[in-house]
Amino acid sequence: MHDTDALVIGAGPVGLFQVFQLGLLGLKVHVVDALPMPGGQCAALYPQKPIYDVPGVPVCTGEELAASLLQQIRPFSGPQHSHLHLGDLVESIRPLNAPLSGFEVSTQNGQTFRTQLIVVAAGAGAFVPKSMNIPGLDAPGHVHFHLPAPDALAPWAGQHLVVAGGGEEALETVAHLLQSTPEAQQPARISLMHRRDQFAVEPDLENTVRQWITSGRIGWIQGMPDHAEVEQGRLVALHVLGPDGTVRREPLDHLMIRQGLSPKLGPLTQWGLPLERKQIPVDMSTCQTATPGIYAVGDINTYPGKKRLLVCGFHEATMAAHAALAWLKPDEPQHLQYTTTSTVLKQRLGADLQ
């Protein structure tokens, strides 16, 4: 059981900035996200893709943006970001009766949060990796969907890793493993597998990967997986139907499926919130939903004139934080303070007041 003032559902860029805004107002915040890393879609799908529309930042990658936001929320995210609960999915929201008030939130992994208010920052829903619907692909520990955290040990180090996919996500993963991974963490062998000899990526990346294939630096497997071969709970091979109609056995130690993420509303549809075209209607001045105490920001919400832009999500997070504080503490005067001059805000940020 986690007792908190606010629970943010979603750790994408808008969700992380929401943590900052709520923390700046003196509220304790926890965060839940279905992905195993913070940063949402831009960090999971396109970590190296440039972003040009963050105010004051001419260009940054999704990975860099997530890292900057994590640094910004450090005063409010608990020791070692312990208030970030990743790889978990909110399953239910139950209103609590007075005198407790607020909500009780339960997750797929068995966590429970008692919170005064909720901010849904779930983008287009919970992003779930696209898998392969083939028999035998149930070897835990040998099938992966994400790169490990920078300080985590790569399970495929010194072994044969097959990367499945033909888009940016798959080819950028191959490039990252070859160019940005310490030698001790690299696979002994990398193979790229895709159903056809065409890639949906920028020409420069495609040319680089094709050169690696031609030189033998990485292997190439063309075809559709037919079934997986598992021995004693260990994935040992994929049987792949090639373009010539022949099924070939491809030995491997680990499989990384990088075929994109699929946004799913999932349990969100059971939370009792009205939806319009898979989005949550909100009051545009407060971002509050039809349920008092529950707010929605970012791509998941809708209102007249809504623009699904990152900068608009940051604005909504600011509006929601101030509206939530006023709702939570209606008898307290709400004075707008500035980080440049407010001693209270600087103390909350841990800033040097000298």
CB-CB contact of 84 with 31 (8 Å): yes
C-beta atoms surrounding 238 within 10 Å: 26
pLDDT for the residue numbered 127: 66
Instruction: Kindly report the backbone phi and psi dihedral angles of residue 151, in degrees, each rounded to the nearest multiple of 5, phi listed first.
Output: -100, 5
Q: Are strands 143-144 and 254-257 parallel, antiparallel or unpaired?
A: parallel
pLDDT for the residue numbered 63: 87
Report the C-alpha gap between 17 and 348 in whole angstroms. 15
Instruction: Kindly report the backbone phi and psi dihedral angles of residue 139, in degrees, each rounded to the nearest multiple of 5, phi listed first.
Output: -100, 95
- Which of 23, 119, 117 lies closest to 313 in space, CA to CA? 119
The DSSP string of 185-228 is GS-SEEEEEESSS--BS-HHHHHHHHHHHHHTSSEEEESEEEEE
Q: Give the three-state DSSP class for 119.
A: strand
pLDDT for the residue numbered 353: 55
Tokens representing residue 160 in the block: 């044969």
Q: Where in the chain is the domain with CATH 3.50.50.60?
A: 2-127+262-349, 131-259
pLDDT for the residue numbered 132: 85
pTM (2 d.p.): 0.73
Residues with Cβ within 8 Å of 302's Cβ and at least 6 positions away in sequence, in order, are 276, 277, 279, 280, 281, 282
- As to burial, measured by CB atoms within 10 angstroms (0-12 exposed, 13-18 middle, 19+ buried), residue 82 is exposed
Residues with Cβ within 8 Å of 310's Cβ and at least 6 positions away in sequence, in order, are 13, 14, 51, 53, 54
Tokens representing residue 33 in the block: 């996200």
CB-CB contact of 226 with 248 (8 Å): no
Q: Give the three-state DSSP class for 324.
A: helix
Query: Which residues in the chain come in under a pLDDT of 50?
Result: 354
Report the C-alpha gap between 103 and 101 in whole angstroms. 7
pLDDT for the residue numbered 100: 62
Report H helices in the chain: 13-24, 40-44, 62-72, 168-179, 203-215, 310-328, 343-349
C-beta atoms surrounding 86 within 10 Å: 15
Task: Give the CATH class of 2-127+262-349.
Answer: alpha beta
Q: 67-79, pLDDT tens digit by residue?
A: 999 999 999 999 9
pLDDT for the residue numbered 97: 80
Which CATH number applies to 131-259? 3.50.50.60
For residue 146, give Cα distances in angstroms to 87, 118, 155, 164, 188.
Answer: 11, 28, 12, 12, 19
pLDDT for the residue numbered 183: 85
pLDDT for the residue numbered 13: 95
Report the C-alpha gap between 56 and 59 in whole angstroms. 9
pLDDT for the residue numbered 263: 65
Amino acid residing at 75: P
- Give the orientation angle of helix 168-179 with respect to helix 203-215, to 10 degrees: 60
Report the C-alpha gap between 353 and 350 in whole angstroms. 9
Under DSSP, the state recorded for 166 is: S
Report the C-alpha gap between 59 and 158 in whole angstroms. 35
- Which of 124, 140, 99 lies closest to 14 in space, CA to CA? 124
Residue for token digits 């239910």?
Answer: 92
pLDDT for the residue numbered 40: 85
